[in-house]
Amino acid sequence: MLDTIAALLAAHALADFIFQTRWMAENKRNLGPLLAHIAIVFALSLLALGGALWPAIFIALVHLQIDFIKARAGRQRLAHFLADQGAHGASILIAAALWPTAFATGLWPGLYADAAPAMALLAGLVLATRMGQFLVGFLMAPFAPDIHEEDGLPNGGALIGLMERGLTFIFVLAGQATGVGLLIAAKSFLRVGTANESRKMAEYVIIGTLASIGWALLLAYGTQSLMALLRGA
C-alpha cells in the first residue's frame, strides 16, 4: 500500500506543480483548461502506477471534483490552498486503500527494484521545492504590500526560495543536515544590509526563510522515513 501512495504522490506532485501551466491554473472555471489538467493527472497517475487503470481513473475523477470546487471558491488564500492539497492527499490515501497492490502488480517493480523509493524521492523533492513555493507565497502574501524592495531581479526571490529548499532537501537526504545551518548563515549574511535598513524587511526575510527551510526540512525527513519504510517492506 505504501508503494501505491508513493507513486500517486509523485504523480500528483508532477501534475499540480510541474506540468500544470499558468493557463490551466488561472482558467479552471472554464472546461477546456480544467479537462486539460485532469488529462495530465490521469496520464501521470497511470504512468506512475505502471498501468493500473482503475485507481488512475478514480484519482482523475476526484481531482476533477476538487478543482471544480476550488475554481469557484474565489480568491485563493493559504487556508484554501491547504484544504485543496489536503483533499488531494485524502483521495490518494483512499485510492491506495481501495487498490493497495496497484503499484506492486504494475510495470515498475519488475524493471527496477527501488522503483517505489524513487517515486517517494521524486514526490518529496517536488513537494519540498515547488509546493513550498506556493505555500510560502500564500503565507507571506498578507505582509507583501508593506514591503518595498527596489532593484531586485524579476522572480529573483522565488528562484532563491526554490534553491534554498532544494539544497535543504538534498543536504538532509545526503546525511549532511549541518549544511542547512551554513545555508541560513550565508543567506543572512547576504541580506544583512537590506534587512538593517528596515525592521519590516528584516522580519519579512526571517519569516519567509524560516517557513521555506522549515517546510523543506519537514519534507526531507518525511521522504527519508518513507523511503526507509519502502525499502524495509
Domain limits of the chain? 2-111, 113-233
In the predicted model, residues of the chain with pLDDT beneath 50 are none
CB 10 within 8 A of CB 41: no
Quote the pLDDT of residue 124. 97
Backbone torsion region of residue 151, taken as left when φ is above 0, otherwise alpha when ψ lies between -120 and 50, otherwise beta: left
Sign of CA dihedral 163, 168, 169, 173: positive
On average, the pLDDT of the chain sits at 89
pLDDT score at 77: 87
E strand or H helix at 108:
helix 108-111
Quote the pTM value.
Answer: 0.90
d(CA 30, CA 100): 34
